[in-house]
Amino acid sequence: MIRPYASEHLTPLIVEDPERATALRTEAESLPQLPVNSAAISNAVMLAAGYFTPLTGYMSAADALRVGREMHTEAGLFWPVPILNQTTDASAIADADRIALCDTNRDGNPVFAIQQVTSVDSLPEDVFLQLVEQVFGTIDAEHPGVATFIENGRTIIGGPIEILDYSYFPQEFADTFRTAVQIRAGIESRGWNRIVAFQTRNPMHRAHEELCKMALERLDADGVLVHMLLGRLKPGDIPAPVRNAAIRKMVELYFPENTVMITGYGFDMLYAGPREAVLHAIFRQNCGCTHMIVGRDHAGVGDYYGAFDAQTIFDKGVPEGALDIEIFRADHTAYSKKLNEVVMMRDVEDHEMEDFVLLSGTRVREMLSQGQSLPKEFARPEIAQILMDYYQSL
């Protein structure tokens, strides 16, 4: 199986020793407590689950700034986006060496991690906005990732963490949330050697289904890891439970047995386009995947990124040899009326736009809200029904 990123072994930061966990919870009672935002919580969940191997905690401001400029930490590790504990007010922790982090995504704000504080830095606004632009390619507050990053604050608390739980994800998504450790074990138990990862924050329509099948065939892969984001999305995106139900129904009915693993990870979407695509590749390598599908506008939003910027960054921004995982480069995929099958548009040069079945996200939402069936060439009827039920319940 492919090795983890920049490490011989996964380094999950979850505290598994019950005695250590008890000691940390007791210690937390006497430590300054800091309620942390959803982004910092999801970063901790990814660290806990081994997805962010080989990181040992939250990055310092110095690391964040270098990652922004060069996509490397101060120690020289290639990394595409800062992994931070940001706050708007660090006065509650004063000069503490250790602090208890409280989960604002759950009732009662329980302590979920202990952080050793190695740095606390408040970035000047101009420096902070430069970092925002480097990571997201824009400082436009209409960009949902930018808006969240700015809202989370300019004060950065760096240092190693020990994490006590995976927040709300195992409870709300018991059948789907899995750690990188568990995914590797699942791949090994299936006897898979070549595994292609498919990233999704949306339900999978017919084109997504066929794209996964194309990758399976063209890469001679053993299986697909359908890896769905379970954390926060922008307003208007379809909630994780609905996506989960739709994807499971699609795999049950339309994929050969033992060719798909359906799992999810506890991360909030950044919508950072190219840089987030690289982050996706890193943690899919940590899951044991040998390949990852990168399609049109991967991890993008609106018109902030070029259609294939998330592919070209692997040529221009990733140092040679930094990643072991390989990229399967996909074009826009749609149903061809001429050929009566789903194709990649680049593969059919004799087609015009009217030869494809294409629906915008807005049109899909309108049709479902009005109880109109989606074309069978666009969505499987069973999946369309799940989505229709959701939209009509709003």
Q: Any idea how long the chain is?
A: 394
Cβ atoms within 10 A of the Cβ of 357, count? 17
Q: Which two tokens stand for residue 109?
A: 């704000």
Q: What residues are labeled active site?
A: 201-202
Q: What angle do CA 21, 110, 18 make, to 5 degrees?
A: 15
Relative orientation angle of helices 361-369 and 381-393, to the nearest 10 degrees: 70
- Residue 229, classed as helix, strand or coil, is strand
Ranges of H-type helices in 6-112: 18-28, 38-48, 61-70
Closest residue by Cα to residue 255 from 303, 196, 212, 300: 212
Give the type of residue at 91: S
Using an 8 Å Cβ cutoff, are 59 and 158 in contact? yes
Q: Name the packing angle between helices 61-70 and 125-136 (round to 10°).
A: 50
Q: Is 62 exposed, middle or buried (0-12, 13-18, 19+ CB in 10 A)?
A: middle
Say which residues have a Cβ less than 8 Å from residue 235's Cβ, sequence separation at least 6.
none
Residues 194, 347: Cα–Cα separation, whole Å: 24
């979920």: which residue's tokens?
Answer: 112
List the structure tokens of 15.
Answer: 């505290």
Q: For residue 273, what is the enclosing H or E element?
A: none
Residue 150 burial class via C-beta count within 10 angstroms: exposed 0-12, middle 13-18, buried 19 and up: middle
- 225 bridge partner residues: 197, 261
* 8 A C-beta contact, residue 57 and residue 13: yes
In angstroms, the CA 21 to CA 336 distance is 56
